[in-house]
Structure 1
């Protein structure tokens, strides 16, 4: 593969038109998704809230279906809890967010008791896991956006996840030789993983330096490198669930990419970590000065 074709993400010349068609499909659907996300982040407020709410509901449905709970009473309670969660976020009562988890737990335990012995204890674990993993964690993207300077912090999430993934892919293609010691993703290489971390750090440094100065660049680089490590774990974690349930993709709603969970698996892991870092910095009066 030539460098020219690599850097514009073009596949190698092949007689198999199906592979090329898939590339075009992935590119178009990915571009549309990216435009929607960028637009919603820039608008913020209700626009970003509604988009995140829709993404959370769809991700929740995919996870419930994967774990074979989509046609149970647990699913309807999970959807209601998701709507309640975003209603609380809309009211800016962030201190009440944890109560959603408590109410959800009590609700599914009530169903478990009423319907006993229709459900197993493992079904409760799956219901809790689905809501927390696919819906609750994703909601932290709204909380980051609503922080002071949140519109700038949001891009740290995408640099850590999608930026890191792109860098890992490029480095893996160019110099990747040593496979990661995991059967979850046989195509991943150690060089690619390291390249993802370093690449995210470089992008974060440039981003911070553009916004303010070299100090902010170093801070953002550190955050993005940490986020990159977490995002790669998130990617493998999502793959592990799919392997356990013997499926290829979580869904088909994004042509060429799969489902929401397939596209946002690393985002889901990165978001709460970056939120926690920013929250701790704020708690210790570590001020990030922009512009």
Structure 2
């Protein structure tokens, strides 16, 4: 428990400065998530044969490169990237077809996440805090409600410990906390946008957690890595958050924010 608490404090100390000061610190944080995500995501294999280093570096370069392209070129660039990774197994036995799919999903998902974070942060840095509060408010509410009131399993196939009571309690706490924050700190958001955003993220955050749990169960691993002592890997800590950045980005598109 001591290790877990100390690691959590370290994470907070590393995350707050980029969110407060932005600039190169924010770019560094996004870059860290992209690189750490590559290390963990591209290590998902049923075999013990590690993915060669070159495809990993190529995948990271693709994500970063896409962030600098104009919107009109994104579709074409993604098509080229898909064809590129699908073609690599033709030329080497060290890169399987399943590795192609891992690289493609990594590039598409992490580019989408990075693009969402950049758009949201440049629109208003407080929106990032709104998403964080919605995500971890839901997570905290689900934990305590599940611990004290949980009786009925939510999805035993994927996560045996999660309960319906915990999920409902998490939704209520996430909605209340994030809506209250938005109401007092984000006056430019309409009440409808605040409410819909809070409701959506309290649900999608939990789906994101379950989705990443399903990935780990499929590959028969407990954590994505042991980078963060007591917490597992980076993706183990930010799975719900990544889902919510993308989902709130879509809310912003709908409300033209």
- The structural deviation recorded for 1:245 is 1.2
What per-residue deviation string (whole Å, max 9, x for no partner) do you get for residues 195-241 of structure 1?
A: 11111110122112212569845532321221121111111111111
Q: How does 1:157-176 map to 2 (within 5 A)?
A: 157-176=131-150
Superposed CA RMSD in Å reads: 2.6
Distance across 1 between alignment mates of 2:55 and 2:101? 14
Match of 2:11 in 1: 33
The normalised TM-score by structure 2 is 0.87
Q: How does 1:2-21 map to 2 (within 5 A)?
A: none
Q: Does 1:82 align with 2:60?
A: yes
> Is the alpha carbon distance of 1:121 and 1:215 closer, same or farther for their aligned partners in structure 2, counting shifts above 3 Å?
closer
Q: How does 1:15-164 map to 2 (within 5 A)?
A: 23-67=1-45, 71-73=50-52, 76-87=54-65, 89=67, 91=68, 93=70, 96-115=73-92, 119-133=95-109, 135-139=110-114, 140-146=116-122, 148-149=123-124, 151-164=125-138
- Asked whether the 8 Å contact 1:41–1:48 carries over to 2, the reply is yes
Distance across 2 between alignment mates of 1:70 and 1:36? 33
Q: How does 1:171-250 map to 2 (within 5 A)?
A: 171-211=145-185, 216=190, 219-250=193-224
The normalised TM-score by structure 1 is 0.78
Distance across 2 between alignment mates of 1:208 and 1:157? 10
What per-residue deviation string (whole Å, max 9, x for no partner) do you get for residues 77-125 of structure 1?
A: 3433423433553x5845555555333213213322222x655433322
Equivalent of residue 254 in structure 2, options 266, 272, 280: 280
- Asked whether the 8 Å contact 1:157–1:267 carries over to 2, the reply is yes
Higher Cα Rg, which structure: 1
What per-residue deviation string (whole Å, max 9, x for no partner) do you get for residues 47-85 of structure 1?
A: 211211111111111111122698435x53343342343
> Is the alpha carbon distance of 1:70 and 1:48 closer, same or farther for their aligned partners in structure 2, counting shifts above 3 Å?
farther
> Is the alpha carbon distance of 1:177 and 1:63 closer, same or farther for their aligned partners in structure 2, counting shifts above 3 Å?
same
Distance across 2 between alignment mates of 1:121 and 1:207? 46
Distance across 2 between alignment mates of 1:214 and 1:45? 23
- Asked whether the 8 Å contact 1:201–1:222 carries over to 2, the reply is no
Match of 1:6 in 2: none
- The structural deviation recorded for 1:278 is 0.6
- The structural deviation recorded for 1:30 is 1.2
Unaligned 5+ residue runs, structure 1? 1-22
Distance across 2 between alignment mates of 1:206 and 1:280? 22
Distance across 2 between alignment mates of 1:279 and 1:214? 15
Distance across 2 between alignment mates of 1:51 and 1:280? 27
